[in-house]
Amino acid sequence: MRENWIAPADRLGSLPPYVFARLDELKARAREQGLDLIDLGMGNPDGMAPRPVIEAAIAAFENPLVHGYPPFEGTADFRHAITEWYKRCYKVDLDPDSEALPLLGSKEGLTHLALAYVNPGDVVLVPSPAYPAHFRGPLIAGADLQTMELSAEGNWLIDIQAIPEDVARRAKLLYFNYPNNPTAATAPREFFEEMVAFARHYEILLVHDLCYAELAFDGYQPTSLLEIPGGKEIGVEFHTLSKTYNMAGWRVGFAVGKSEIIQGLRTLKTNLDYGIFSAIQAAAQTALQLPDEYVQRVQQRYRERRDFLLAGLAELGWSVAPTKATMYLWIPCSVGMTSADFALDLLQKTGVVVTPGSAFGAGGEGYVRVSLIADCDRLGEAINRLKQAGIRYDYSTVGVS
């Protein structure tokens, strides 16, 4: 028999282990040892979807017509709800028939977009750190990945002036994401205007991940790429119902923007899947039509958790500026430890789970991401466990070898 006759495709060899899968393994072992875990690792909201969303799903289940294959392009009602949401939130007009596409979660769409538009060797610009789907999709497609290093000094914003001219001229796609996962950074409107001008000049497709659009605090209003003049002609934007509506397990999101790109993604998906179960689309439609009061309650919940955890971390030596959006805090590791070692140390000594920054690319080293996915009682317990374990942050040692 031939050696390695069942070897996987080379493209899998380019992918490092998916950190969240590895975290699941470590958490399972810790639970087997009797540890009471406080899981602040994944961006997996706690609690149920809103009652009207659940009721819409139940009602749809009772309709025998929804149990067959859904339309490849999604139901007309859901697509109209998507475009009406954009009109209401960003005053952006979109054609529900050609500029909106439901997805099996935004991760699926972000990854498949790369398969639809990246040939082996095409240059793709991605930030570091970044949500893994932003660079793993292009890696699977065989892209020549060029990273744009983000830094605390630059407020975790992409510095387009630092992109070499020859790289910019060869680039085909640029992925970015504000409000940002993992850093929780936000970008002003002027940043988006600069991105559109840059992309138009070099003829680069912008791929913007707007998954944290509604999770904004203290008067901050996130910007949509599509509300920038020229943005829809040069880009596409992805959104998910996972975070705001506690629908992570439902697997539903959408892409909007330049019609030719949306239809190219649709063509790929017709060869890979049959779309989202129609009952879930009915529920998602209901979610997008919920009154503003619901979103305001969600914002208040995460703002209270943010403030509570920031105060607790301050008692332990961390000085972290209040985030204006997302469900995350991005905090530096203890001095002398890698992010993976620090996260493992926390897990073993306290049962508190966080995500090492290195999971988001080399630019995330030195930090961990903390998700605000537990109530304040559990967050308080997490802080107490760190205190008891003697885990603190000492800024006086930063930079000392």
Same domain, 138 and 258: yes
Give residue for tokens 């996915």.
373
Range of the domain at 272: 51-288
Query: b/e for 186-215, b at 16 or more Cβ within 10 A?
Result: bbeeebbebbbebbeebebbbbbbbbbbbb
Same domain, 272 and 318: no
Residue 401 has pLDDT above 90, yes or no: no
Phi, psi of 165 (to 5 degrees): -55, -45
pLDDT of residue 33: 72
Q: How many CB atoms lie within 10 A of CB 310?
A: 17
Residue 371 forms part of a structural domain? yes
pLDDT of residue 400: 39
The pLDDT confidence band at residue 158, using thresholds 50, 70 and 90, is very high
Same domain, 233 and 350: no
Residue 3 forms part of a structural domain? no
- Rounded to an integer, the average pLDDT of 93-99 is 97
| Neighbouring-strand partners of residue 238 | 209, 255
The region that residue 299 occupies, defined by phi over 0 for left and psi between -120 and 50 for alpha, beta otherwise, is alpha
Residue 330 has pLDDT above 80, yes or no: yes
Amino acid type, 169: R
Residue at which a domain ends, from 259, 288, 317: 288
Looking at every residue in the chain, the average pLDDT score rounds to 92
Q: What is the pLDDT of residues 257-288, one digit of tens each?
A: 999 999 999 999 999 999 999 999 999 999 99
Cα(364)–Cα(368) distance, rounded to whole angstroms?
8
Residue 32 has pLDDT above 90, yes or no: no
pTM beyond 0.95:
no
Same domain, 230 and 326: no
Same domain, 301 and 319: yes
Residue 399 forms part of a structural domain? no
Query: b/e for 354-390, b at 16 or more Cβ within 10 A?
Result: bbbbbbbbebbbbbbbbbbbbeeebbebbbebbeeee
The pLDDT confidence band at residue 398, using thresholds 50, 70 and 90, is low
Cα(372)–Cα(243) distance, rounded to whole angstroms?
11
Q: How many domains does the chain fold into?
A: 2
Residue at which a domain ends, from 288, 313, 335: 288
pLDDT of residue 10: 77
Residue 5 has pLDDT above 80, yes or no: no
Same domain, 43 and 95: no
Q: State the CATH number of the domain containing residue 122.
A: 3.40.640.10
Residue at which a domain ends, from 288, 314, 347: 288
| DSSP designation for 15 | S
Same domain, 341 and 304: yes
Q: What is the pLDDT of residues 229-256, one digit of tens each?
A: 999 999 999 999 999 999 999 999 999 9
Residue 15 has pLDDT above 90, yes or no: no
Q: State the CATH number of the domain containing residue 320.
A: 3.90.1150.10
Same domain, 133 and 71: yes
Tell me, rounded to whole angstroms, the distance of Cα 156 from its chain centroid. Answer: 15
- Rounded to an integer, the average pLDDT of 165-190 is 98
